[in-house]
Amino acid sequence: MDNLKPGEFYIEGNVSSQFISGLIFALPLLNGDSKIYITTEFESKSYLDLTILVLKSFGIDIKNKGYREFTIKGNQEYKNCNYRVEGDYSQGAYFLCANALGSDISLSGLKEDSLQGDKRIIGILDSMGTSSKFVNDKLYNISRELTGTTIDASQCPDIIPVLSLVATLSKGETKIVNAHRLKLKECDRLEATRLELLKLGGDIEATEDSLIIKGVDKLRGGIKVWSHNDHRIAMMLSIASCFCEEEIVICDSECISKSYPNFYKDFIELGGKIDEWNLGK
């Protein structure tokens, strides 16, 4: 903490909420008050909501003034407590999308009243034709005839690749808008999603900040695809393999270890088939 001083911080809100979350974790411990000012439109607000909620559980108070200004008192102290970590909608989205395309998987551990931005996966899939419900703390979503829709990616960029897969196999046209931040992830996810779904037989165009997807009846397979060393693209392609006419080979699939190292273990236990050439060390 020797190099970080309390004061005023001006940060763009449309690049990554992680910079703001990092400061919010550290600033309460400094010997003085601080303020964070957001200088642009604020995207991924839900991640800040989660950060502030978790910190409150550990005794830290953060004042949020309309996502434009955050006030952080100094000389605060973290207090220990028992805390149950909720399930991750970002990872659950892959299996919810598999359900939308015809699988039958129930998911445990997801909070029905979660603040996670990627909880939007439920509403988006339902708007395309699924029927979702919680029963005894398990989430089910049932596949029906899927139709295209318009998806605003600004608050849920991480689930856009797998939603693009669902859109590819839905009737009509889907527009994914406000997606410019996907170009700033582990790879340019807009271009990676377009390229890899095109290889499989999709009809998809990318612009500077959007995807336009026209539904097709089937995906071909029988080719090599590439994860672009991006865990979200690798997991999307893995789900896509279940709905291809022929097998696919995913190059650099081991990158899934960044966020979900047991993904392929769960994939196999749920009935997925993998010929493991190389899934990393």
Catalytic residues: 158
Structure tokens at 17: 């909420």
For 198, the 3-state DSSP assignment is helix
Cα four-point dihedral sign 49, 51, 52, 58 = positive
The Cα angle at residue 50 between residues 46 and 56, in degrees rounded to 5:
145
Give the residue among 242, 228, 94 at the shortest CA–CA distance from 159.
94
- Measured from the Cβ of residue 266, the count of other Cβ atoms closer than 10 Å reads 14
DSSP 67-105: TTEEEE-SS--------PPPP-HHHHHHHHHHHHTT---
